[in-house]
Amino acid sequence: MTVNAIRLRGVGKSYGPTRALADVSLDIEAGTVHAVLGENGAGKSTLIKILTGVLAPDTGTVDLFGERLDHDGPQSAETLGLATVFQELSLVPHLSVEDNLFLSNPPRSKFGWIDLRRQRAESRHWLDLVGLGDIHPGTHVGQLSLTQKQLLEIAKGLAKKPRILLLDEATASLPGNDVDRLFNIIADARREGLTVIYISHRMTEIERIADRCSVLRNGQLIETFDAHARSHDEICRMLAGREISQVFPPRRPVPADAPIVLDVSGLSAVDKVRNISFALRQGEVLGIGGLEGQGQKELLQTLYGAIRTAAGSVTLDGKPFKPAGPAAAIAGQRPVMLLPEDRKTDGLLLAESIRDNMLLSVTGKLSRYGLRDQVAETACSRAITRKLAIKISSPDAPVSSLSGGNQQKVLLARLLLNEPAVYILMDPTRGIDVGTKQEIYALIRELADRGAAVLFLTTDFEELIGMCDRVLVLYGGAIRRELEGDAINEVNIMEASLNMTRPETARNPADTEIRP
């Protein structure tokens, strides 16, 4: 009997009440390419961290070539022959290319010093292999382009001469010809017995390279099957996999003559937002979808004034809108306000009182002669607490004492008190129980019906389908597709998110990055 390269038995991991991974058992045969697919939050990254030894599972075991993996850091998996090419690059920008290639295990001379000559020679070999032959090994990594860094990251994995290579979204920033080269390398290495775990969102790549596929959803292993055994649509359904179960409030069609509140044209910022144009009407809930990290966050932060605009223009009620910062966006006659993605780090002052957190953006309006008006503040916070049905013992208690759902309501209260013209909501239901979710959905719909315009970022397809009048799907910093009405469905969103190339559609500009 052959020993499997990887053998998972009953692996589970929870973060507090959220189950990231539940009872996953999986065998991966040596010398095969095994693809792992899953939506955001399906448990892929937890699985990777467990496989690489960075994270210890709560239950279950991991064996690599029949040897038990102890989870005390990346070294433990490396000694068993597993090398990882990380999605978030594990390169040190201030060190040279060659230093990075051999960061943890440089070639050594007799006395244990780093053998610089051998390091240079071996670097050249690996750089040539991944197509970076024209890069000098002494170049600082900080000066490489994103594509070059990604290739270097791959070279770094290969240089460890692993028996198992884990590629985590390794092609995310590679143009087509480099992907071809990578696939040739993988094919060669596989013939020599290398086992590859391939994690990617790009369905076409998985079809080209994988022998077997596993689909994860909500932390569970849904199915493992031979590649080509399932069609695109089947896989999409397996990935998303649920019926619309949550109760969303009814939608009224946005009248065609509703005034345009926010008009964005040709907006670009940092290198994540590329030439984005759209119009947001009064009473509309406009969904911003796509996989994580496709520029959604940067787009919304730019509209809010947190990121400086590089090109393009925005108008609010027809007048140019170019806030010098969040404070300016909030202070206007028609405020634009943003609910941040991570309420604990970007939203709440955790140690401060519930009342102060609610009133943080309006204190100026509730003060007299520069002093805070206690009576007005109390009345104001009491009214909004009642309106949003926030469960609190006392407005003076620290906001950290509340549950996640109630914390989120406190943040929403902060926005509401300013009566914004535009609500920018970033993942407003993240980590919240179903009951509170429904309340928040109803509230968002009510705000829109009463004349506000809402930008609603979410990575949850169901929310895009159930809540939004229109959906923009972003990929690589640009709008990949605009969906409206019945076209807002799982297959369409999934396809646009994954940038699946249909014969009639052109390639996305993000894929044809110009290399220096």
Partner 1 sequence: MKILTSRHMPVLLGAAVFIIVLAAYLAVHPRGISSFVIQSYANSAAPLALAALAQTFPVLTGGLDLSVGGMVALTNALASELVQGSPVEIAFGVLTVLAAGALCGALNGALIVYGRLQPIIGTLATGAVFSGLALFIRPFPGGDVDTGLAYAMTAILFGVLPVSTLLIAIIASCTWAAISRASLGRGIFAAGSAPQAARLSGLRIERSIIAAYVLSGLLSALAGLYLGFQTLSGDATIGVPYTINSIAAIVIGGLSLRGGAGSPLSAIFGAHALRAISAVLLFTGAPPLAQPLFEGMVLITAVAAASLTLVRDPNRLKAFQ
CA 88 to chain centre: 11
Query: Which of positions 143-162 make contact with partner 1 (CB under 8 A)?
Result: 143, 156
Rounded CA separation 352/400 (Å) = 8
Least separation, in Å, of the C-beta of 103 and partner 1?
Answer: 5
417 DSSP β-pair partners = none
326 binds partner 1, rule: CB under 8 A: yes
Residue 123 vs 429, nearer CB to partner 1: 123
Nearest to 399 by CA among 411, 381, 388, 387: 411
Residues within window 39-98 making contact with partner 1, judged by CB under 8 A: 54, 73-75, 78, 84, 86, 89-95
Nearer to partner 1, 60 or 106 (CB): 106
Which stretch in 14-22, 102-110, 218-226, 476-484 sits in contact with partner 1 by CB under 8 A? Answer: 102-110
Contact 18, 196 (CB under 8 A): no
Q: Would you state the structure tokens that stand for residue 431, as one six-digit string?
A: 């980590």
266 forms part of the interface with partner 1 (CB under 8 A): no
Tell me whether residue 325 or residue 451 sits nearer to partner 1 (CB atom).
Answer: 325
Q: State the Cα–Cα distance between residues 90 and 75, nearest whole angstrom.
A: 14
For 70-114, list the strands marked E by DSSP.
82-85
Q: Which is nearer to partner 1, 349 or 491 (CB)?
A: 349
When asked if residue 107 is in the footprint of partner 1 (CB under 8 A), the reply is no
Instruction: Indicate which single residue of 68, 125, 136, 515 sits in contact with partner 1 (rule: CB under 8 A).
Output: 136
Q: Please say which residue, 118 or 208, places its beta carbon nearer to partner 1.
A: 118
User: Binding residues for partner 1, how many (CB under 8 A)?
Assistant: 39
Could you say which of 164, 286, 306, 447 contacts partner 1 (CB under 8 A)? 306
137 binds partner 1 (CB under 8 A): no
Neighbours of 374 (CB within 10 A): 10
- In the complex, the smallest distance separating the C-beta of residue 460 from partner 1, rounded to whole angstroms, is 25
Which of 113, 245, 345, 502 lies at the binding interface for partner 1 (CB under 8 A)?
A: 113
Q: Which is nearer to partner 1, 72 or 433 (CB)?
A: 72
Residues 130/170, Cβ–Cβ less than 8 Å:
no
Nearest to 156 by CA among 194, 125, 177, 183: 125
Short-list 116, 107, 167, CA closest to 137? 116
Q: Which of 43, 173, 278 is nearest to 512 (CA)?
A: 173
Backbone angles phi, psi at 388, to 5 degrees: -90, 0
Q: Is-contact 57 2, C-beta < 8 A?
A: no
CA angle 168, 169, 174 (to 5 degrees): 135
Q: Is residue 307 a contact point for partner 1 (CB under 8 A)?
A: yes
Of 54 and 187, the one with the shorter C-beta distance to partner 1 is 54
Binding residue for partner 1, selected from 8, 28, 36, 99, defined by CB under 8 A? 99
Q: Does 140 bind partner 1 (CB under 8 A)?
A: yes
Nearest to partner 1 of 104, 184 (CB atom): 104
CB distance 135 to 97 below 8 Å = yes
- Does 114 participate in binding partner 1 (rule CB under 8 A)? yes
Tokens of 169: 């979204």
The residue (of 72 and 188) whose beta carbon lies closer to partner 1 is 72
Strand 195-199's sheet: what is its strand order? 82-85, 164-168, 195-199, 33-38, 212-217, 220-226
Q: Is 110 in the site for partner 1 (CB under 8 A)?
A: no
Handedness of CA 296, 297, 302, 305 (dihedral sign): positive
Q: How far is CA 282 from the centre of its chain?
A: 29
For partner 1, the closer of residues 109 and 177 by Cβ is 109
Q: Examine residue 105 and tell whether it contacts partner 1 (CB under 8 A).
A: yes
Nearest distance from C-beta of residue 187 to partner 1, angstroms:
26
Q: Which stretch binds partner 1 (CB under 8 A): 112-120, 190-198, 275-283, 480-488?
A: 112-120
Edge-to-edge strand order for the sheet containing 18-28? 18-28, 6-15, 59-64, 67-68
| Cβ closest to partner 1, residue 172 vs residue 270 | 270
Work out how close the CB of 495 gets to partner 1 at its nearest, in angstroms, rounded to a whole number. Answer: 31
Stretch that binds partner 1, among 27-35, 105-113, 370-378, 488-496 (CB under 8 A): 105-113
- What is the dihedral sign for C-alpha 385, 386, 390, 395? positive
Chain residues that interact with partner 1, rule: CB under 8 A: 54, 73-75, 78, 84, 86, 89-95, 99, 103-106, 112-114, 116, 136, 138-140, 143, 156, 269-270, 301, 305-308, 310, 325-326
